[in-house]
Amino acid sequence: MERQLTLSNNIVFVDYREEKIANLLEKMGCKIVRMNLPIGDFVVNDVGIERKSFEDFISSIIDGRIFEQANSLSSAFKKPIIIVEGFGVVERIHENSFYATLAYIVSKSNVTIFRTKNEEETAKLIYWIARKEFENSGNAGFKIKEKKVNVKTIQERILAAFPGISTVLSKRILKKFGSLKKFFNASEKELMEVDGIGEKTAKRIRKVIEEEYKGD
């Protein structure tokens, strides 16, 4: 049996919502850094991976999200990948629309699409992608394509780093307050006026803003 390669000296960045896959990757020997990723669910060097369940993939075709997500992946990473996890019957859309979407994403957005059976198979695929990336590069990093980033995008990413704030919610917050300064000065009550922010999230936001830095 082939000896398993330990990836403990290299890093796979994992979005905090992908805890089960993160745990599986750690068991395989990957060093995991959990964080709020602005784009994608997993980052391995210059590979950006978006993981979708079969049902979510179908829903994203219906509401058009998948095209925006594919373009964002392609713009941010040299090697963009979408993993569609699980199999099912295409019922909510015409079967031709399903395959046409796959073809469009691959040809127009330059995104590679993989199909996996379950979470375990997804973790194995990501492990092998990481293994080959680290074998080829010899180092790890969070490599996003260098591109000019406007102030709007920077503001959204700063907010998306807060616990409980997604990129969608960050835009809603900025529309409400108009600037980061007003957001930082907002009370818990004012934060809770934003659709999507409850009492628990508001308290966590205020804690991050107010608590003193305890680094070395």
Residue-wise pLDDT tens digits, 121-143: 999 999 999 988 887 765 544 44
Residues of the chain with pLDDT under 70: 1-10, 89-90, 137-149, 215-216
Per-residue DSSP letter, 31: E
Secondary element (H or E) of residue 62: helix 54-63
Tell me how long the chain is.
216
Entry pTM: 0.59
pLDDT confidence of residue 216: 57
The edge-to-edge listing of strands for the beta sheet with 47-53 is 30-35, 7-15, 42-44, 47-53, 79-85, 112-116
Domains of the chain, CATH where assigned: 7-137 (3.40.50.10130), 151-210 (1.10.150.20)
pLDDT confidence of residue 106: 87
